[in-house]
C-alpha cells in the first residue's frame, strides 16, 4: 500500500472541502485506518496535525479572498467555518500578523501555507523487524520539560544531557524517554520526559503510570536521536499502512538499554 498516494488522496479531500465541514472519519477511511491512527500517521508524515493543516489552509485562502474580492470579514468567517467574526479575526491575525480589516492596505503582510503534496513514486528499501509484546503496568519516575514540535529536537537532547549530569552518577542511566501531549492533534505544545524505572526520592521527579497492555516493539541499534527519528518515520510510512494494528491513545516509549533503543508503540488488544 502506497502511503504517499493515500495521503495525497486525503489532502485532496481536505482541499475539495476546505469551505465545508471536514469529517475526520472520511480522512481515516481514505487512509484505511481508525481515526486516532490516521491522525497520528498524518501528523508524523506531514509534520503538522490535520486540524492545523486545515486551519492554515483556510486562513491562507481567506487572506486571498479578502484582498482580491469585496468579501466582508463576517462573510469570510462564515465561508471558512468560523462561528463568528471575532474568533476568525483573532485566528487570522495570529496567522498572518495583520488584522483582516488591514489586508487591502497591507497585502504584503499576508502569509501562505501551501498545499502539501507527496511524490508517490518514492520507494522505501528496508523492512522493519518487530515483535508484539505484552507488558505489565509500568511505574516510572521522571522529569518533563515543556517544549513544542518545532524545538523538541533541541530541547530533548538538552534535557537528557542536563539531567544525566545531575543524576546519572547517583541513580544510573535513564531507562526511558517519552513525549506527551495534552492533545496531540490540536496543540503544538508538548513535554519531553526522561524516566527511571524505579522510584527516585527527589522532589522534581513525577510518578508516571503506564497501564498494562500490548506493544509493538522495534529494536534500534542506536541511542542517537537522528537514528530513532528515522525509524519512527519509517514505522508510520511503511508499517502502519500495511497492517491492521490499531494504535492506543497513550504515548510511545523509547526504552534505552545495552547501547540499543526499543521503540515501543502501544496498540489496542484484539
Q: Could you report the per-residue pLDDT of 116-127, keeping only the tens digit for each? A: 998 888 665 556
> What pLDDT is stored for residue 7 in this prediction?
93
- Of 87-101, 132-146, 195-209, 230-244, least confident by mean pLDDT is 230-244
Beta bridge partners of 220: 261
Nearest-angstrom CA–CA distance, 42 and 186: 13
Q: How many CA atoms lie within 13 A of 232 on its CB side?
A: 21
- Is the pLDDT score of 161 beyond 70? yes
Mean pLDDT of 195-215: 95
pLDDT score recorded for residue 124: 59
> What local confidence, expressed as pLDDT, does residue 34 receive?
86
Give the fold, CATH level 3, of 3-109.
Answer: Arc Repressor Mutant, subunit A (1.10.10)
Query: How wide is the angle at C-alpha 155 spanned by C-alphas 264 and 262, nearest 5°?
Result: 15
Q: What cell does 104 get? A: 487591502
Return the top range by mean pLDDT from 6-20, 140-154, 232-246. 6-20
Residue 250: predicted pLDDT: 87
Average pLDDT of the chain to the nearest whole number: 89
Better-predicted residue by pLDDT, 142 or 128:
142
- Among candidate residues 269, 219, 232, the one with its CA nearest the CA of residue 43: 232
Kindly tell me the burial class for residue 78, based on how many C-beta atoms sit within 10 Å of its own C-beta (0-12, 13-18, 19 or more).
middle
CATH superfamily of 130-267: Regulatory factor, effector binding domain (3.20.80.10)
Domain boundaries, the chain: 3-109, 130-267
- Please tell me the distance from the alpha carbon of residue 236 to that of residue 38, in angstroms, as a whole number: 10
On the question of pLDDT at 190 being above 90, the answer is no
Within 32-187, residue ranges assigned H as helices are 35-46, 50-68, 73-79, 85-96, 152-171
- Determine the pLDDT at residue 16: 97
Quote the pLDDT of residue 80. 97
Q: Are strands 253-257 and 260-267 parallel, antiparallel or unpaired?
A: antiparallel
The whole-model pTM stands at 0.72
Amino acid at each position: 500500500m502506497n502511503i504517499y498516494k493515500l495521503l495525497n488522496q486525503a489532502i485532496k479531500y481536505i482541499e475539495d472541502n476546505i469551505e465545508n465541514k471536514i469529517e475526520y472519519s472520511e480522512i481515516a477511511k481514505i487512509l484505511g485506518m481508525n481515526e486516532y491512527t490516521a491522525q497520528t500517521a498524518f501528523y508524523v508524515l506531514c509534520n503538522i496535525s490535520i486540524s492545523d493543516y486545515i486551519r492554515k489552509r483556510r486562513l491562507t485562502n481567506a487572506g486571498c479572498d479578502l484582498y482580491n474580492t469585496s468579501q466582508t470579514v463576517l462573510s469570510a468567517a462564515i465561508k471558512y467555518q468560523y462561528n463568528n467574526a471575532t474568533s476568525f479575526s483573532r485566528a487570522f491575525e495570529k496567522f498572518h500578523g495583520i488584522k483582516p480589516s488591514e489586508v487591502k492596505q497591507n497585502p504584503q503582510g499576508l502569509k501562505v501555507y501551501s498545499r502539501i503534496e507527496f511524490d508517490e513514486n518514492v520507494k522505501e528499501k528496508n523492512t522493519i523487524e518487530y515483535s508484539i509484546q505484552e507488558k505489565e503496568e509500568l511505574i516510572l519516575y521522571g522529569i518533563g520539560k515543556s517544549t513544542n514540535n518545532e524545538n523538541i529536537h533541541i530541547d530533548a537532547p538538552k534535557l537528557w544531557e542536563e539531567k544525566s549530569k545531575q543524576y546519572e552518577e547517583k541513580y544510573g542511566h535513564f531507562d526511558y524517554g517519552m513525549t506527551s501531549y495534552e492533545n496531540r492533534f490540536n496543540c503544538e505544545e508538548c513535554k519531553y520526559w526522561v524516566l527511571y524505572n524505579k522510584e527516585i526520592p527527589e522532589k522534581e521527579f513525577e510518578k508516571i503510570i503506564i497501564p498494562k497492555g500490548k506493544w509493538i516493539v522495534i529494536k534500534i541499534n542506536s541511542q542517537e536521536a537522528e537514528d530513532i527519528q528515522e525509524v519512527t518515520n519509517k514505522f508510520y510510512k511503511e508499517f502502519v499502512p500495511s497492517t491492521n494494528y490499531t494504535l492506543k491513545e497513550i504515548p510511545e516509549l523509547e526504552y534505552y538499554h545495552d547501547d540499543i533503543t526499543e521503540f515501543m508503540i502501544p496498540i489496542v488488544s484484539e
